[in-house]
């Protein structure tokens, strides 16, 4: 019975795409939950039936279609999470990936990130959050240099914000935006929302890291204020 149902869904996906997408809108969440069940026991059976919105195609795509379009040197399947496609599309954290013409899968359901963690890879390509960026070693090295050059500014902002953030550091993912908030390793903001939805009294929180674009005029203004007018700098922070 399972094989027959899977075969029919595969046929529909292949031959009647519009009809399958209508099916997916109604039952896709259940298929993702099933793929997660029992530590991913059925993920191999269900992963080719999954659809996600694509940043470049502007429509729902399969994982196979995504991987088939990947550049030769691309190592990861990138995704970004948010409440809606429109909200994700405007996230500053995705800017650098888009500049490099990287396709991003938009996760708009609370189960999506959990599903990606259960799948872990698809055709030997690892899932990676756009929040982790696509920065190479040179970008990471540059960030370390900036952290040292502007260490007084980052220390000032961290002291001003206190426990509101776990860390303040230079960003390797921003281009035109001045600032973004990212989660530390492990729990993402979307996962935090899920746990709060399931357990309203839960104290489970994602780690908040404030990233600043040191090449943005806003950072220059902040740095100048740290020296010339600390009270104004606190307001900026």
Long-range Cβ pairs for the range 62-65 (8 Å, 24+) = 62/13, 63/122, 63/123, 64/123
Bridge partners, 76 (sequence order): 126
DSSP state of 122: E
Between 124 and 195, whose confidence is greater?
124
Burial bucket for residue 158 (CB in 10 Å: 0-12, 13-18, 19+): middle
List, for residues 78-92, the tens digit of each pLDDT value. 999 999 999 999 998
Please report how the helices 189-198 and 112-119 are oriented relative to each other, as an axis angle in degrees rounded to 10: 120
Residue 20: phi, psi to the nearest 5?
Answer: -65, -40
Highest-confidence range of 34-38, 60-64, 99-103, 175-179, by mean pLDDT?
60-64
Contacts of 74 (CB under 8 A, 6+ apart): 102, 125
Lowest-pLDDT choice from 159-163, 166-170, 171-175 = 171-175
pLDDT at 135 over 80: no
Q: What is the pTM of this model?
A: 0.78
The DSSP element (H or E) to which 233 belongs, if any, is helix 230-236
The answer to whether 63 and 35 have CB atoms below 8 angstroms apart is no
* Contact present, 93 and 80 (Cβ < 8 Å): yes
What one-character-per-residue DSSP string does 9-23 give?
HHHHHHH-HHHHHHH
230 is written with which tokens? Answer: 């600390």
């Amino acid at each position: 019975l399972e094989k027959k149902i899977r075969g029919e869904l595969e046929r529909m996906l292949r031959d009647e795409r519009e009809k399958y997408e209508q099916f997916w809108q109604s039952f896709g969440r259940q298929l993702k939950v099933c793929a997660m069940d029992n530590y991913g026991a059925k993920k191999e059976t269900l992963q080719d039936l999954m659809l996600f919105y694509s940043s470049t195609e502007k429509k729902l795509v399969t994982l196979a279609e995504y991987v088939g379009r990947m550049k030769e040197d691309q190592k990861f399947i990138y995704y970004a999470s948010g409440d809606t496609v429109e909200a994700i599309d405007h996230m500053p954290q995705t800017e650098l990936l888009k500049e490099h013409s990287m396709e991003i899968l938009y996760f708009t359901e609370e189960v999506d990130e959990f599903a990606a963690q259960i799948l872990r890879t698809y055709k030997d390509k690892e899932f990676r959050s756009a929040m982790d960026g696509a920065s190479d070693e040179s970008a990471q090295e540059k960030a370390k240099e900036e952290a040292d050059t502007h260490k007084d500014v980052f220390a000032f902002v961290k002291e001003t914000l206190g426990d509101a953030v776990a860390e303040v550091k230079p960003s390797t993912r921003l281009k035109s935006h001045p600032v973004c908030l990212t989660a530390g390793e492990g729990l993402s903001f979307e996962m935090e929302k899920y746990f709060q939805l399931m357990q309203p009294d839960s104290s489970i929180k994602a780690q908040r890291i404030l990233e600043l674009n040191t090449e943005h005029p806003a950072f220059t203004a902040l740095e100048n204020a740290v020296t010339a007018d600390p009270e104004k700098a606190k307001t900026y922070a």
